[in-house]
Amino acid sequence: MGKGFYISKTVGIVGIVLAAGALATITALPVVYSQEKSKNEVKSTDPTVAPSNEPWDQWRLPQTLSPKTYNVTLWPRLQPDPTGLYIFTGMSSVVFRCVEKTNLILIHSNKLNMIKQPTLTALGSKPAPTIESIVMHTKTQYMAIHLKEELTAGESYELYTEFLGELSDDLGGFYRSEYYENGVKKVVATTQMQATDARKAFPCFDEPAMKAVFHITLLHDPATVALSNGVVIGKVNITVDGTLVTRTTFAPTEIMSTYLLAFIVSDFVFIEQNIDNLQIRIFARQEAINAGQGEYALSVTGPSFKFFEKYYNVPYPLPKSDQVALPDFSFGAMENWGLITYRETSLLYDEGISSNENKERIITVIAHELAHQWFGNLVTVRWWNDLWLNEGFATYGEYLGADEAEPDWNIKDLIVLNDVHKVFAIDALASSHPLSSKEEEIQRPEQISEVFDTIAYSKGASVVRMLSTFLTEEVFTQGLQTYLDHFKFSNTVYTDLWEHLQRAVDSSGTTLPRTVQEIMDRWVLQMGFPVVTINTTTGQITQEHFLLDPETKPDRPSEFNYEWFVPISWTKKEAAQALYWLLQKTEQSDHMKISGDEWVLANINVTGYYRVNYDNENWQRLLNVLQTSRQSIPVINRAQIIDDAFNLAKAEIVETTLALRTTLFLASETEYMPWESALDNLDYFYLMFDRTEVYGPMQTYVGNQVKNLFDYFTTLTNWENVPPGHTDQYNQVNALRVACSTGLEDCTTLVKTWFQQWMENPKVNPIKPNLRSTVYCSAIAAGGEKEWDFAWEMFEKATVASEKDKLRTAMACATEPWLLNRYLKYTLDPGKIRKQDVTPTIVSIASNVVGQPLAWDFVRANWEYIFNQFGGKSFSFPNLINGVTNRFSTPFELEQKLLLSPGMGIVYQTLWFQTTITSLSGLDSS
């Protein structure tokens, strides 16, 4: 799956645990949470309440049967039945081989009603056993077919079922999405199978290692188009039950996992391109395609595809790849083999309306899903506990594929901000977890959903990048290629990849201090990461598990004692770059011992997954270099120094003053990465302190720092032109956002004028696409009802999803409580705010200082509705809880938050607060 949901493990657990209890009216959420949590803990450790040993009470399928082929016909009804219900009917036959004799057929089936007695046929010489009884197990989501006699090992059988299911709007399994076009309501039937919802569409052996060939047929209205993984091989009009329908038959799939299936019936249209016999199509709403919104995606999909084919050195086995934009989609995108589905904002782009950020999102999401077409689809991890490898790799691949399509963007650098720094914040908590889990720890559908977290995506990507860097790209791709070739159409565990990489290492003559497996075990099997301290006075290098909250201890022990084999790339003022392997807790290196105005910088370009601390003297020298000749430090490391220093300060390893001093050089910096890194960290100060007396001095300091940047962009663009570089465009937005939020009058006037002009002439939006998010937010924050209502009207009229998103987010910037309360109410009405957008909307409101308490009250008051809609296994629910409590910093609030998510590492904030005011007043930015 593509990103689009970012949650921490801890918060993830909150959602899951709550799902276990039937919650009625809840007034004190934290209390109920802790009760539920303790109940749950008892359950999982008390053997007396363990379920039976019967196979249907186990979460994993027995190994007795192995599917070979399916023949599935589905008929989704895009009109409601007389009771207002949307349904689909289907028939499916599955041919399976009996591996071990048994008198039980256990097959996944969830929320499906059998409308005919299932039948069993033997394909061998012996007759099929008689069916004795059929029992549906709703908890474990099985249909259990008990047989009078046994199935014979080695023989094949065919099970035939006819069934009916609801085509509901729950964004999972076979579901429906709705939208309006020219005032007419349109309904789309579409799917999201990953991780465990194929069983909601038809009975199947729904585990990733149960690969099979699928023959898919869809029945649909002749006025609609049907899509599936394969190409269309037959299309006829027939009459079924008195209704004229088109029957579209698809070519059988390759051998594949159920979670990668997809079916779509819609009246979408497409644009296409053929590259070397590969058909690439972009499908979307007619209005969007006609407005050219698919063109950008079409132009970058081909190059990205070609890149991966070469990179993996394995041909793409399918003749086509469809990319489909859906109005309702719970994730960023889904890599279904040959039929990739996207949220509209992840695929559709409008030159005059969308920003460069929207553009980057599209190319990275496409690259992510294309990376999966091989890594994930062709070769699939055996079970969900290894998901991190699948998602980590695809997340790393995002940058490679995007770089190919947009070579001028330096997009590979951004992984440091978007993934490495982001996941450092989560992985430095005592409650983090290792990348890899044990197979038996990931059993239930909720547990499977839970593994799709930031650790899997972003830490996975970070360690894959580290691995590829220390092996060298050449050796890494060599091993990757033989791995894919060897395991194509089958399943693996992550150590299979290590083995192939080791072979590549051995045949290349590269030397490593340990085997690939030995090195990687420490990064994969233990949570967290080290802070490496280089003492340039003594030449001593030390590693220590980095925890943000120094008071905490890791929740779990580590067989490696929280020590790592750390590849330390480093440079000095007067020396070329070198690599040092830190293999012990403490080592001594004379190279690191320096004096005079020499300095040491480690973790060049942050290719290593660790933070760096120095002795005070070296810190001072680095600060001095930043002030006097910052070009001698690579731009990524200028961002690193800031982020490391701020986080070391949070962990009370260095002084807060040191952290703040790393931002002094920004007064003359114009590069995006250092600025973004600083703003991310300063935002945290704002989050914690914007209701305190720190706020004033903060505003003054940041205002002074940004002045030069604002002037730089004024000269460069006059706020009329678009800066040439991709990251310069981002930094132009930063300049505007920060200058306006710190009250620079030139800025606020500019923004007010633009928005006024737009309100006077709504047909012509004079605001540059890149600047819209910021301008809308500033104008709505400074305005009142008139501005808000105008934004709402424009939101309702917008036909480009990314434009809608910008307005939706900006409306949360309002500063009048009643406007925010009204907006919160709108989130309960799917006619106003789509279900997929409810969580992000509430979270945006909560991130506004005025909105935070309102959002918190709102969530508590509407707990039952929100929980029913987004609880269970939705990713957005934990995101919501995290979002609304993000700003909690008073002792009372912290207490509530600690109850919700224990071990979040927030105690240090109180301490930190005291040192901040003094530090700020001591800073001189001139």
Ligand X SMILES: *[C@@H]1O[C@H](CO)[C@@H](O)[C@H](O)[C@H]1NC(C)=O
Q: Closest separation between CB of residue 409 and ligand X, Å?
A: 11
- Whether the link from the prior residue into 195 is cis, omega within 30° of 0, is yes
Q: Across the strands, what pairs with 888?
A: none
Residue nearest to Zn ion (CB): 394
Q: How far is CA 272 from CA 321, 323, 679, in A?
A: 10, 10, 41
- If one asks whether residue 655 binds ligand X (CB under 6 A), the answer comes out as no
Q: Is 187 helix (H, G, I), strand (E, B) or coil?
A: strand
Alpha carbon 276 to its chain centroid, in Å, reads 32
**Residue from the set 386, 413, 496, 805 that interacts with ligand X by CB under 6 A:** 413
DSSP 722: P
Rounded distance, CA 427 to CA 194, Å? Answer: 25
| Options 234-242, 503-511, 718-726, 747-755: segment touching ligand X (CB under 6 A) | 234-242
190 binds ligand X (CB under 6 A): no
Which span (288-296, 482-490, 534-542, 880-888) binds ligand X, by CB under 6 A? 534-542
Identify which range of 532-540, 774-782, 802-810, 916-924 contacts ligand X by CB under 6 A: 532-540
The reply to whether 108 sits in an annotated binding site is no
Least separation in angstroms between residue 193's CB and ligand X is: 20
Among 390, 535, 662, 885, binds ligand X (CB under 6 A): 535
Element of type H or E holding 764: none
Other CB atoms closer than 10 Å to residue 251's CB: what's the count? 18
Residue 533 is a binding residue for ligand X (CB under 6 A): yes
| Interacting partner of 1 out of Zn ion, ligand X, none (Cβ under 5 to 8 A depending on kind) | Zn ion
Q: Is 456 in the site for Zn ion (CB under 5 A)?
A: no
Helix (H) or strand (E) holding 860: helix 851-861
Q: Is 537 in the site for ligand X (CB under 6 A)?
A: yes
**Which of ligand X, Zn ion, none interacts with 237 (beta carbon under 5 to 8 A by kind)?**
ligand X
Which are the contacts of 867, defined by CB distance < 8 A and separation ≥ 6?
A: 18, 23, 877
Q: What is the 3-state secondary structure (H, E, C) of 639-679?
A: HHHHHHHHHHHHCCCCCHHHHHHCCHHHHHCCCHHHHHHHH
Give how far Cα 532 sits from Cα of 845, 906, 921, Å.
Answer: 38, 23, 31
**Contacting range for ligand X; rule: CB under 6 A; set: 55-63, 232-240, 494-502, 897-905:** 232-240
Q: Choose the one of ligand X, Zn ion, none that binds residue 366, judging by a C-beta under 5 to 8 angstroms depending on kind.
A: none
Residue 818 host element (H or E): helix 817-826
User: In which element (H, E) is residue 145 found?
Assistant: strand 142-151
- Choose, by CB under 6 A, the member of 37, 176, 186, 215 that binds ligand X: 215
Residue 61 CA to residue 58 CA, distance in Å, equals: 7
Q: For residues 561, 567, 570 and 576, what is the CA-based torsion angle, rounded to 10 degrees?
A: 160
User: Which residues, 6+ apart, have CB-to-CB distance to 810 below 8 Å?
Assistant: 773, 776, 777, 779, 780, 791
Is 226 among the residues that bind Zn ion (CB under 5 A)?
no
222 contacts ligand X (rule: CB under 6 A): yes
The site map against ligand X for 241-260 (x = CB under 6 A) is -----x--------------
Q: Which of 674, 663, 750 is nearest to 714 (CA)?
A: 750
- Residue closer to ligand X, measured from CB, 287 or 615: 615
Site for ligand X in 62-101 (CB under 6 A): 71
Q: Per CB under 6 A, does 577 bind ligand X?
A: yes
Task: Output 650 or 835, the one with its CB closest to ligand X.
Answer: 650
| Cβ atoms within 10 Å of 726's Cβ, excluding its own | 18
| Partner whose footprint covers residue 364, from Zn ion, ligand X, none (CB < 5 to 8 Å by kind) | none
Largest CA distance in the chain: 91
Question: Among all chains, which residue has been given the structure tokens 């002084």?
Answer: 655
CA–CA dist 160, 141 (Å, integer): 18
CB of 335 to Zn ion, least distance (A): 6
Catalytic (active site) residue 369: yes
Stretch touching ligand X by CB under 6 A, among 179-187, 478-486, 529-537, 830-838: 529-537
Q: Shortest Cβ distance from residue 414 to Zn ion (Å)? A: 18
The distance of closest approach from Cβ of residue 593 to ligand X in the complex, given in angstroms and rounded to an integer, is 10
Minimum distance between the CB of residue 655 and ligand X, rounded to whole angstroms? 12
Structure tokens at 528: 């967290």
- Residue 413's binding partner among ligand X, Zn ion, none (Cβ under 5 to 8 angstroms by kind) is ligand X
CA distances to 364, 492, 886 from 889, rounded to whole Å, are 35, 45, 9
Locate 279 and state its tokens: 């058909």
The answer to the question of residue 394 lying near Zn ion (CB under 5 A) is yes
Count of residues interacting with ligand X (CB under 6 A): 19
User: What residues contact 758, with CB distance under 8 A and at least 6 apart?
Assistant: 764, 765, 766, 767
State the angle between helix axes of 635-650 and 908-922 in degrees (0 to 180), rounded to the nearest 10: 120
160 forms bridges with which residues in the sheet? 93, 119
CB-based burial, 303-312: b 16+ in 10 Å, e otherwise:
bbbbbbbebb
Q: Smallest gap, in angstroms, from Cβ of residue 188 to Zn ion?
A: 22
The yes or no reply on residue 224 touching ligand X (CB under 6 A) is no
If we measure between CA atoms, which residue out of 256, 223, 312, 265 comes closest to residue 90?
Answer: 265
Binder of residue 615, out of Zn ion, ligand X, none (CB less than 5 to 8 A by kind): ligand X
Could you say whether residue 455 binds Zn ion (CB under 5 A)? no
Burial bucket for residue 241 (CB in 10 Å: 0-12, 13-18, 19+): exposed
Q: Tell me 242's DSSP state.
A: T
Question: Binding site annotation covers 272?
Answer: no
Question: Minimum Å distance from CB 480 to ligand X?
Answer: 20
Q: Which stretch binds ligand X (CB under 6 A): 56-64, 146-154, 194-202, 233-241?
A: 233-241
- Assess 237 for contact with ligand X (CB under 6 A): yes
User: Do the annotations mark residue 726 as ligand-binding?
Assistant: no
**Which of the stretches 530-538, 749-757, 788-796, 903-911 binds ligand X when contact is defined by CB under 6 A?**
530-538
Tell me the one-letter amino acid at 413: D
Cβ 572 to ligand X shortest distance, Å: 13
- Nearer to ligand X by Cβ, of 161 and 301: the residue is 161
Intra-chain end-to-end CA distance of the chain, in Å: 47
Token reading at 490: 């089958």
Q: Rule CB under 6 A: choose which of 266, 354, 605, 647 binds ligand X.
A: 605
Q: Contact between 526 and ligand X (CB under 6 A)? A: no
Asked if residue 1 binds Zn ion (CB under 5 A), the reply is: yes
Judged by CB, which is closer to ligand X: 163, or 342? 163
Q: Which of residues 362-391 bind Zn ion (CB under 5 A)?
A: 391
Which one of ligand X, Zn ion, none interacts with residue 394, CB within 5 to 8 A by kind?
Zn ion
728 binds ligand X (CB under 6 A): no
- CB nearer to Zn ion: pick between 394 and 651: 394
Identify the active-site residue in 335, 344, 360, 369.
369
Contact range with Zn ion by CB under 5 A, out of 322-330, 393-401, 738-746, 877-885: 393-401
Q: Using the rule CB under 6 A, which residue among 94, 475, 636, 649 binds ligand X?
A: 636
Cβ atoms < 10 Å from Cβ of 775: 25
Minimum distance of ligand X from residue 847's CB (angstroms): 31
Reduced to 3 states (helix: H, G, I; strand: E, B; else coil), residue 512 is: coil
Q: Do the beta carbons of residue 423 and residue 528 sit within 8 Å?
A: no
Nearer to ligand X, 540 or 692 (CB): 540
Q: At 253, list the tokens.
A: 């799939």
Return the amino acid letter for 900: L
Taking the complex as a whole, the smallest distance from the CB of residue 243 to ligand X amounts, in Å, to 12
Which residues are catalytically annotated?
A: 369
Q: Residues forming the annotated binding site?
A: 368, 372, 391
Contact positions vs ligand X (CB under 6 A): 71, 215, 222, 235-237, 246, 410, 413, 533, 535, 537-538, 577, 604-605, 615, 634, 636
Q: Residues forming the annotated binding site for Zn(2+)?
A: 368, 372, 391
Contact positions vs Zn ion (CB under 5 A): 1, 391, 394
